[in-house]
Structure formats: C-alpha cells, structure tokens
Amino acid sequence: MVILTLNCGSSSVKYQVYNWEAKEVLARGLVERVGTADSVLEHTTHRNETLTINREIPDHETAIQMILETVADSRVGVVKKIEEIKAVGHRVLHGGQKFNKSAMITPESLQTFRELVDLGPLHLPANISGIEAAQRVLPQIPQVAVLDTAWHQTMPAFAYIYAVPYNWYTYYGVRRYGFHGTSFLYTAKRASALLGKHPMETNLIIAHVGNGASMSAVKNGCAFDTSMGLTPLEGLVMGTRSGDIDPAIINYICRRTGMTSLQVENDLNKKSGLLGVTGRFSDRRDVNQAAENGDSQSLLAKQIEGYRLKKYIGAYMAGLERVDAIVFTAGVGEMSPATREEALKGLDNLGIILDPDKNKLSRTRNAETCISSDHSPIKIFVIPTDEELVITEDAYAISIGTYDIHTNFRYSFEDKAYVNKERAKGLERELKKNPALQDILA
C-alpha cells in the first residue's frame, strides 16, 4: 500500500511517498513558487535519483498533477501507476475545538476549515486549496486531515482560557489552541521510548524550534500547556515573529505612527523576532555568526531568544512538577548547538545539566542524541522530528478503520527499536566522517 502525504503552503507543496509494507520512504519532494512563471519541482527517490523541473505551475491542482506524473514517471518514478496510491494525508493548520485527532476529510470537515480561516489566514487557505485539488485529481482515494491543533486539545481549561471577557471565548472561540502538534506527538512518543517509559507516564518539555517555534509541556503523555496561542504569533521569539508582547503596544504604535492595527500585526508576524532585533537576519546561522563576529544586535537577539526559551522551561517545570526530559526538535532545535546552549545555561540548579561537548557534537537529522551530562537528573534529548510519518500512519489507520486518539492508539515509532531506514543510511554515512557522534546516540 502506497500513501501520499501533502503539506500545502500558499505557494508550495511538500510531498512524500511511502510504501507501507516495506516501511520505506519511496520519494520526497517540493514544489515551490506555485502561481508564478518560475515554479520549480524538485524530486528525490530512495534510489538517490533526482529530478528538477522548471516550468510555470499556476495553481495547487497543477502542482499535485505534476507530483503524480513524477511519482509514476518511467525514469524517476516510484510506482508503476497512480492507482497504487491508496490514501492521501494532508497537513492542516487549524481544527479549532472540533478536532482532537486526525479525521477523514468530508464536506462537513472542509466547511469547518473554511469557517476557521480567520484563525489561520496565512496557512488554512492553502491547506484547503491543496485538499480540494487532491480531491479533484484523486477523486476515489481516501483523503485524511492531520491537524496541528489536535494534539493540544487535552490541555486543561486553566491553561487554554485567556483572562479576557469570557464571552470572547464562548462567542468567538478566543482561546489558546497551539500548533506544531504533529511534531510534538512524534517527539513525545520517541522520548518516552528512549526513556524506557510508557507514554502515559512521561512528563516532558519539548521545544520545536524552527523559523516558527513553540513549546509543549507534556504531562502523563498528553499536552498540558503550549506557548503559541489563538494564532502562531504568541510565545517564543521566532525568525520573524515577536512572540509574547504587551498587547497595548499595538495601539500605542498605531497612535504614534498612523499605522493600522493590521499593519502592526503584519510587522509582528513578518518583521519582528530575530529579524526585528538584528535588522538583517532571521536565520539563526546568520545571527550566531554575526554575534561571534562582534555584532551587538545579533548578540542581543541571540540572548533574547535564549532567555525566552529558558523562561518557558522554568514555567513548565513549575506546572508539570516533575520532568523526565527536555527535548529539542525541528531545524534549529536539531542543528543549532548555540541556541540550545543559550536556552539551557544556568539551569543546573533545576536538575538540567547540559554537557557542552555533547551539545557541540549534536548536529544531525539522522539520529536521536542525548546531550545531557551523565549526572544530570533530567535528560536532554535532541530528536529529529518526523511529521510526515505521523501523517502517513494516521492516513493508513483511518483508511482501514483502526485509528483512534493517540492515547488509545499505538504508533510504530513508539518502540525503542524503531528504525527509520532512510535516516539509518544517512547516519551510517555521517559516522564514517564523524565517529565521535556514536558516543552521544540516544
């Protein structure tokens, strides 16, 4: 059985093709600049064959049609015919309060997503367009929505209700929803496996740090609190998003500058965070390099980001009362020792003791590593996320009727012995170049 996963952005489609029986990624790729004359499709197979197509791709339907043609191409294809694809899993940003788990896409669920567009105006329209396009191109295939917000639906009311007029919640749905849920689900299950504990007995603090960043406090295997809120703007300092601010700042800037609230909100989303403080950089690699070269604004941005991470760790430790491990994941969390060090330094008194040498070694997306000191009461893991695998497993289980909410469902990656074949090959190559990496494998 072959399963296709689709992650549709406003001008992109990220995809993966997975062979369920072989438990193997057959191909993955990305279509970028959808809607422009210089669109490009980049496709890579498990045989290390690559294909790049440069041509105009006017819309998501054309992009998905091109993906399917490439997947079945005689030279770089990985299936003989499109009919081998038996399910499609879609990443969907927002499910509001109506979805606490992944679900089969129906006319009713699609209407719900449309009603939630105001809560995810940058992502949901593209998610919906991708679903509708896939339904037209593959009309007989089960289509499944895997929602970023579903993981967080176990949060207690005191964690997700804002201290604002209560009818804002009852009438307009104003509450903390949280995002990056698929990543948190994967890393929470993997951390439990590495600890040798049942998922429902594990307490964790997970930092998903990419260009967008958020944290999840996990209590007894379930989401307890999270840093993002009604939208992905709240919480940590991000590449271009401010994270937490005094809400009065918005009207203050409107009065002083003549900007509208929408213009200020746009600046908070697209011109703030690391970019706002440095004035130049949103990529942590650039920020860290500039800080090392003596750029004071980059150093300040690095310190602000690290301190915000540290504050959330402290707050979540208080809320959870007992913590088994701190987990870093996503592009920056997996690949930036400097960001992890800034977030964890000085936390020895809380039982979080980072090993600086292990931390510097951990720069891989092919393996899970442990970067805490041998005598640290609380483990520190770096776990490469795998949202596509969660989407794949959910789509498969829903298509055959065996799926349930994660507390009642067992994923393949919950086993400590689970092996990602694609990453195992990559790790083998890495170890030849850097044998010391073996010493920090979790």
User: For residue 431, what pLDDT is reported?
Assistant: 96
Closest among 309, 291, 308, 292 to 300, alpha carbons compared: 291
User: For residue 276, what pLDDT is reported?
Assistant: 97
**Same fold for the pair 2-147 and 195-387:** yes
Find the helix packing angle between 337-344 and 284-292, rounded to 10°: 70
Is residue 233 within 8 A of residue 256, CB to CB? The reply is no
pLDDT, tens digit, 9 for 90 and up, residues 94-128:
999 999 999 999 999 999 999 998 888 778 888 99
Q: Which CATH number fits domain 2-147: 3.30.420.40, 3.30.1330.10, 3.40.1110.10, 3.40.190.180?
A: 3.30.420.40
Task: Pick out the chain residues at pLDDT < 50.
Answer: none
Catalytic: 148? yes
Sequence length of the chain is 442
Look-up of token digits 């193997």? 24
Does domain 195-387 sit in CATH 3.30.420.40? yes
User: For residue 59, what pLDDT is reported?
Assistant: 87
Q: Would you give the end-to-end CA distance of the chain in angstroms?
A: 31
Tokens representing 320 are 């959870």
Domain ranges of the chain: 2-147, 195-387
User: For residue 121, what pLDDT is reported?
Assistant: 79
Is residue 186 within 8 A of residue 389, CB to CB? The reply is yes
Cα separation, 220 vs 314, in Å, equals 18
Give me the catalytic one of 59, 73, 118, 148.
148
Is residue 352 within 8 A of residue 344, CB to CB? The reply is yes
Calculate the CA 409 to chain-centre distance. 21
pLDDT, tens digit, 9 for 90 and up, residues 194-235:
999 999 999 999 999 998 999 999 999 999 999 999 999 999
